[in-house]
């Protein structure tokens, strides 16, 4: 197994947390989910933090958590907006981590997101805005990914095996 961290990036709803947890368990390495770490350190969910303290505050904490997480090996699942902050892109690029873009096609992602609107970005966006965000971020994820794995319509074990093959 690759000794360097594996960082899963990708749009909201693509399954980064469940694939990351599966992969880490399977390969017996640590697992870190940046959203879960933020919730733990702040005592509030991303939605609560967005509402009470604003997105820039959330992004600052997210960046600190990413920096810490990259110091350990294992699997790291990130929030979909990790690419919105230049410092994060810099941290990811200079790290030894393998960056995996977990791709999900737009119709599938939209279907999943609209079933569960708890995410702050989804709550405050129109369908058109989410489409545009997906298009824009899709380019950004591809630009920094070492490998791209299409997760559309695949089970976690299949996706995890494809990630492992690529690292």
Residues of this chain that bind ligand S3P (CB under 6 A): 12, 16, 35, 46, 79-81, 119-121
Judge contact between 75 and 8, C-beta under 8 A.
yes
Q: Which residue is nearest to ligand S3P (CB)?
A: 79
CB of 35 to ligand S3P, least distance (A): 5
Q: Whose Cβ is closer to ligand S3P: residue 50's or residue 162's?
A: 50
Q: Whose Cβ is closer to ligand S3P: residue 1's or residue 150's?
A: 150
The per-residue DSSP string of 116-135 comes to: -TTSHHHHT--HHHHHHHHH
CB of 164 to ligand S3P, least distance (A): 21
12 burial class (0-12, 13-18, 19+ CB within 10 angstroms)?
buried
- Going through 53-97 in order, the beta strands assigned E by DSSP cover 75-77
Q: Whose Cβ is closer to ligand S3P: residue 28's or residue 100's?
A: 100
């Amino acid at each position: 197994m690759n000794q360097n961290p594996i960082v899963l990036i990708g749009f909201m709803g693509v399954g980064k947390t469940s694939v990351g947890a599966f992969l880490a368990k399977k390969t017996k390495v640590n697992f870190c989910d940046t959203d879960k770490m933020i919730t733990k350190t702040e005592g509030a969910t991303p939605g609560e933090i967005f509402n009470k303290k604003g997105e820039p505050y959330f992004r600052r904490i997210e960046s600190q958590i990413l920096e810490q997480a990259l110091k350990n090996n294992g699997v790291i699942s990130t929030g979909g907006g990790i690419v919105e902050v230049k410092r994060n892109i810099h941290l990811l690029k200079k790290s030894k981590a393998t960056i995996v873009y977990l791709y999900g096609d737009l119709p599938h992602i939209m279907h999943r997101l609209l079933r569960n609107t708890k995410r702050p970005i989804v709550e405050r966006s129109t369908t058109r805005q989410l489409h545009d965000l997906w298009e824009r971020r899709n380019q950004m994820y591809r630009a920094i990914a070492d490998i791209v794995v299409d997760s559309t319509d695949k089970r976690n074990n299949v996706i995890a095996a494809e990630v492992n093959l690529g690292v």
